[in-house]
């Protein structure tokens, strides 16, 4: 990597010289494999944390009926208490969405995730040893730190630690891990006692100790002006190819040229910071990617997939009028959901983000309208309800939403947000995502009663249609683009190689 004295002052010790003629193809292949394995190790820790997240999301679905069966009372858990059991996890995440970005900025990614894993373990222990519903609620609130981490820090971990060519795959596998967690939790709760879910969480928490083997994020090191460490860590993760060296140079130049960052809490007074911050909010390079990331998040929640997963038993019981069929249908849909997510992972390797997102979103919206119409005709006794048709329509809906909007949510979010604005952006995004999730879960039972199932799915369809149209107008392509290139798109900096044309134009 060449040193440009006009743009940055740093000294990098290049531990690996690509121009070394004595190097062999085997040596380079071996080095590339080690770089990939380091990225997989870090990503697998994130996949495990997402699996724990999925276990917790799926747990209330089976905890509620089991507690009622043990007490031999269907009124033991009211609708209001049931909604708290389903949403307390997301409520507990809200304060962490404001705390973790600051903690991550101060002490780095590695130490922040050690803290998250430790607090999450305490939450698991509280629920596993619980004797009352209150204990379960407290444990879920404590475990909210895991969701808070997912909404703020997690997408950037894989973005910062992985190469652009692997990043999309790692992101989608992470999302699939969450769905595996829901499926496994529902399976355990169907055939065994619900506390075995938390026993599995404990074992998963043991694996997350691999976080101690992480290096620090090269992006965070660059922002701390620890340039030599940044270069060494970056090369140990991503190698010394021409593209990797270009990305490293862009990282270092970006932070060297932005020493007076508007997000520097330490060098500004309270009033000065907020004056500068509100000016930043009016800057297109700040609010455009942030609003797009928020819209993608809201789009996923407005499809109703998360609500359908958590309240699968209640929804299927109302549709099929059969408890046994409801449980079987739930497990079938969970299996289809996981399968379609992995299919989406494979497709994402070949398709561009925009094309994949909007194709699957349109199919999702179509099935929402069809399912709403079908339930309306059944409700009006115009046609007779058929269990196979009902579950099939829900299955097609799950396939489309999980192979697109769900797996691309964190991928695009992690790629859109500039690292220079990481702290404040993740606070806003994380808080918004958590609030939308908590409100939708808490109000879902109320909406079931007020809108009935046909009206509820029609609401999901209309909401998703509006948000998808807005995203179609403004969302750029992000696949295989470095963080620096994506940031330049919103800056509208001409690419010198294309003589004034814009890099990374939105395309379908």
d(CA 231, CA 218): 7
- Cβ pair 76, 68 in contact under 8 A: yes
Q: Are the beta carbons of 329 and 376 closer than 8 angstroms? A: no
For 177, the 3-state DSSP assignment is: helix
Residue 393 lies in a domain: yes
**CB proximity list for 36: less than 8 A, separation 6 or greater:** 166
Nearest to 111 by CA among 41, 216, 230: 216
Range(s) of the domain holding residue 365: 30-214+287-498
Q: Is residue 254 part of a domain?
A: no
From 286, 312, 299, 37, select the one nearest 179 (Cα to Cα).
312
The neighbour count for residue 200, using CB atoms within 10 Å, is 17
Please give the Cα distance from 305 to 401 (Å, whole number): 7
User: Do residues 347 and 356 touch, judged by C-beta distance below 8 A?
Assistant: yes
Q: Is 82 helix (H, G, I), strand (E, B) or coil?
A: helix
**Contact indicator for 305, 406 with CB cutoff of 8 Å:** yes
Q: What is the pLDDT along the chain (508 residues), one digit of tens a residue?
A: 444 434 444 444 444 444 444 446 665 666 667 777 878 888 888 888 889 988 888 888 888 888 877 777 666 677 778 778 877 888 888 888 878 877 877 888 888 888 988 998 998 899 888 888 888 899 889 988 888 888 777 777 777 777 767 776 777 677 778 878 888 888 888 888 888 999 999 999 889 888 888 888 787 787 777 878 877 777 877 777 776 777 777 777 766 555 444 444 444 454 555 566 666 667 777 777 888 888 888 888 888 887 877 777 777 777 777 777 777 888 888 888 888 877 877 777 777 878 888 888 899 999 899 988 988 888 888 888 787 888 888 888 888 888 888 777 767 776 777 666 666 777 787 788 788 888 887 787 777 777 788 888 898 899 989 999 988 888 877 766 666 667 677 766 444 443 333 333 333 3
Query: In this structure, is residue 105 part of a structural domain?
Result: yes
E-strand ranges in 166-245 read none
- Asked if residue 458 belongs to a domain, the reply is yes
8 belongs to a structural domain: no
- Distance of alpha carbon 117 from alpha carbon 310, whole angstroms: 24
- The CA-based angle 201-205-210, given to 5 degrees, is 150
The DSSP letter of residue 263 is T
- Number of domains making up the chain: 1
Q: Report whether 59 contacts 190 (CB < 8 A).
A: no
Residue count of the chain, please give it. 508
- Residue 398 sits in a domain whose CATH number is 1.20.1250.20
Residue 156 lies in a domain: yes
In a domain, 65, yes or no: yes
This prediction has a pTM of: 0.71
Question: 456: which residues sit within 8 A by CB, 6+ positions away?
Answer: 304, 447, 448
**CB 153, CB 101: distance < 8 Å:** yes
Q: What is the residue-wise DSSP string for 374-421? A: HHHHHHTTSS---HHHHHHHHHHHHHHHHTTHHHHHHHHHHHHS-GGG
The answer to whether residue 120 is domain-embedded is: yes
């Amino acid at each position: 990597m060449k040193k440009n004295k006009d743009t940055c002052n740093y000294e990098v010790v290049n531990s690996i010289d690509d121009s070394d003629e004595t190097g062999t193809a085997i040596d380079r292949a071996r080095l590339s494999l080690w770089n990939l394995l380091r990225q997989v190790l870090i990503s697998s820790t994130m996949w495990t944390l997402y699996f724990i997240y999925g276990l917790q999301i799926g747990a209330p679905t089976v905890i509620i009926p089991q507690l009622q069966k043990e007490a031999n009372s269907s009124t033991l858990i009211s609708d209001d208490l049931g909604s708290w059991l389903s949403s307390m996890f997301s409520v507990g995440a809200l304060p962490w969405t404001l705390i973790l970005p600051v903690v991550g900025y101060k002490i780095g990614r590695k130490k922040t995730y050690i803290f998250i894993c430790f607090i999450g373990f305490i939450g698991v222990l509280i629920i596993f040893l619980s004797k009352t519903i209150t204990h379960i609620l407290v444990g879920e609130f404590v475990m909210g730190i895991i969701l808070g981490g997912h909404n703020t820090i997690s997408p950037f971990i894989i973005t910062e630690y992985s190469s652009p060519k692997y990043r999309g795959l790692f992101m989608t596998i992470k999302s699939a891990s969450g769905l595996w967690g829901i499926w496994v939790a529902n399976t355990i709760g169907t055939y065994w006692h619900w506390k075995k879910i938390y026993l599995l969480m404990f074992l998963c928490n043991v694996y997350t100790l691999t976080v101690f083997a992480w290096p620090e994020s090269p992006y965070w090191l660059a922002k701390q002006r620890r340039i030599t460490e940044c270069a060494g860590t970056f090369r140990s993760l991503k190698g010394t190819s021409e593209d990797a060296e270009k990305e490293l140079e862009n990282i270092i130049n970006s932070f060297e040229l932005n020493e007076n960052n508007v997000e520097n809490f330490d060098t500004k007074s309270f009033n000065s910071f907020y004056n500068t911050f509100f000016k930043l909010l009016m800057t297109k390079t700040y609010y455009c990617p942030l609003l797009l990331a928020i819209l993608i998040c809201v789009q996923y929640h407005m499809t109703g997939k998360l609500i359908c997963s958590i309240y699968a038993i209640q929804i299927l019981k109302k549709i099929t009028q059969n408890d046994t069929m409801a449980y079987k249908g739930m497990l079938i849909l969970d299996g289809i959901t996981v399968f379609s997510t992995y299919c989406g992972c494979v497709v994402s390797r070949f398709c561009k983000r925009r094309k994949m997102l909007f194709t699957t979103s349109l199919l999702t919206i179509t099935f929402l309208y069809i399912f709403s119409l079908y339930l309306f005709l059944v409700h009006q006794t115009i046609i007779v309800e058929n269990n196979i048709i009902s579950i099939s329509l829900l299955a097609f809906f799950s396939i489309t939403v999980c192979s697109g909007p769900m797996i691309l949510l964190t991928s695009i979010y992690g790629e859109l947000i500039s690292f220079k604005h990481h702290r404040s952006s993740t606070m806003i995004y994380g808080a918004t995502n958590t609030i939308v999730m908590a409100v939708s879960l808490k109000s879902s039972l109320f909406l079931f009663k007020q809108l009935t199932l046909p009206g509820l799915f029609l609401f999901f369809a209309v909401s998703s249609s509006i948000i998808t149209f807005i995203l179609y107008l403004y969302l750029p392509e992000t696949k295989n683009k470095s963080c620096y290139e994506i940031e330049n798109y919103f800056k509208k900096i001409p690419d010198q190689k294309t003589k004034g044309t814009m890099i990374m134009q939105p395309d379908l």
